[in-house]
Structure 1
Amino acid sequence: MHTIFKNLTKNIEFSSDLKSNIHLFLTTNKCPQTADHCIDVGSEARRIALMFEANHEAAEIAGWLHDISAVFPSAERIEVSRQLQIEVLPEEELFPMIIHQKISKVMAGEIFGITDQEILEAVGCHTTLRANATLLDQVLFVADKIAWDQSGEPPYIKELNRELKKSLTHGAFAYINYLWERKETLKVIHPWLKEAYGELRNKVHY
């Protein structure tokens, strides 16, 4: 385990229950709301995976793990990424919140022993999606947007749910398109999001 994670885990006794371990890790490190959000996204990811015949167990695990990097404040995330030898894109440097997906991916492997590459890759792109996204990537991406971590109802939820009835790709695009229509208000447009937008737009024939 990388030394940067040692202080986060030194007072925690993990059990054989991954879900409990993730919740304990986040609450111990003063992120109780994120802990609950991760469990909610896991449940939602399982539900969506079953709808679209994806691996529901992998989807649930990816949901539990996706935001574990919340233990690092946004102001620290670029330095953390460099210590972990994660590539930092200019857009991430400008808006460090967005690099949390990449940090969560590393933490899932190093702290929780996840070796399933499909789970790790889904965790690593859950905020922005990416081009050539896998089924699991899209499941987690959509689940995170449905079980969002803000108060009230997401402003895009009706459109997303309507499109999700057509296909998982339609559901994923509904959220990306929502962002794209408001791109002037975004702090940055992540290149992975831009690539996903172009690819999915062609697939759903908007």
Structure 2
Amino acid sequence: MQHNISKGEFTMHTILKNLTQQMEFSSDLKKNIYLFLTTNKYPETANHCIDVGTEARRIAIMFEANHEAAEIAGWLHDISAVIPSIDRLDVSRQLDIDILPEEELFPMIIHQKISKVMARDIFRITDPEILDAVGCHTTLRANSTLLDQVLFVADKIAWDQSGEPPYIEELNRDLKKSLAHGAFAYINYLWERKETLKVVHPWLKEAYEELKEKVHKV
């Protein structure tokens, strides 16, 4: 997907430039992302991103989505892990990212928006579908695209914690019905436990309401 990577003149924000100091990137995007995360001392995130890319490709093929774009989105989705949660609001302001009240309360969740900017500015991704999927991979959003849903589900299947995800059986079962059913299975799992969440992100709420109506029509 070379056409999605811009190689022209580009000015990068100092915050992001500092994260890439002394790194020699090649023409291999996957290796560059892995190098970026491991050099910044996030090897587990590097492995998770590669795993999500593989899973996203598999799901994209299942549902006839763009599997190359899905894999790239998977590699990129958590690159903002290199920025500690405590710094994310400040970094978001410096990068001119819109911050919602829920993200002020729980800065971890804004990492999806930071990853989107980093994908564009560090790795020169220009495909808006890839960038938008990265930018909503944790919460999903209303009017989500096929690629949004592919990445969202892939991230929940290839999760970054130990053991089996507690929702995995239901998600896999519903994924056999449709991609929207699979995405809703996870959102519904969260919704049933929303009192235990730090915040309920408005994008998640919108995605829940939209997908609930969609899957119940089928």
TM-score (norm 1): 0.99
Match of 1:100 in 2: 111
Instruction: Say which of 116, 125, 129 aligns to 1:114.
Output: 125
2:96 corresponds to which residue? 85
> For residues 58 and 163 of structure 1, what CA distance do their matches in structure 2 show?
24
1:159 aligns with 2:177: no
Deviation at 1:142, TM superposition (A): 0.1
The Cα of 1:148 is off from its aligned counterpart by 0.1
In structure 1, runs of 5+ residues without a counterpart are none
The match for 1:60 is 71
Look up the match of 1:146: 157
TM-score calculated relative to the size of structure 2: 0.94
Cα separation, 2, equivalents of 1:94 and 1:11:
35
- Aligned amino acid, residue 25 of structure 1: F
1:169 pairs with 157, 180, 190, which one?
Answer: 180
Give the drift of 1:6: 1.2
**Higher deviation after alignment, 1-10 or 104-113:** 1-10
Compute the displacement of 1:7 (Å): 1.2
Q: How far is 1:10 from its partner? A: 1.1
Aligned length: 206
5+ unaligned residues in a row in structure 2: which ranges?
1-11
Residue 132 (structure 1) aligns with: 143
How far the C-alpha of 1:17 sits from its partner, in A, is 0.3
Ranges of 4+ aligned residues in structure 1 off by more than 3 Å: none
Is 1:35 aligned to residue 51 of structure 2? no
| Residue 3 (structure 2) aligns with | none
Q: Which moved more, 1:135-144 or 1:6-15?
A: 6-15
Which moves more between the two structures, 5-14 or 154-163?
Answer: 5-14
Q: Using the alignment, how far apart are the partners of 1:36 and 1:134 within structure 2?
A: 26
Deviations 1:55-112 (A, max 9, x none): 0000000000000000000000000000000001010011000000000000000000
Cα displacement string for residues 31-65 of structure 1 (whole angstroms, at most 9, x for unaligned residues): 00000000000000000000000000000000000
Partner of 2:29: 18
The letter of the residue matching 1:52 is F
Q: Quote the Cα distance in structure 1 between the aligned partners of 2:192 and 2:120.
A: 35
Q: Secondary structure at the match of 2:138?
A: coil
Residue 11 of structure 1: CA displacement? 1.2
Q: Distance in 2 between matches of 1:69 and 1:159?
A: 29
2:171 partner letter: L
Query: How far does residue 203 in structure 1 lie from its aligned partner after superposition?
Result: 0.3
Q: Where does residue 5 of structure 2 map in the other structure?
A: none
Residue 44 of structure 1 is aligned with which of 55, 76, 92? 55
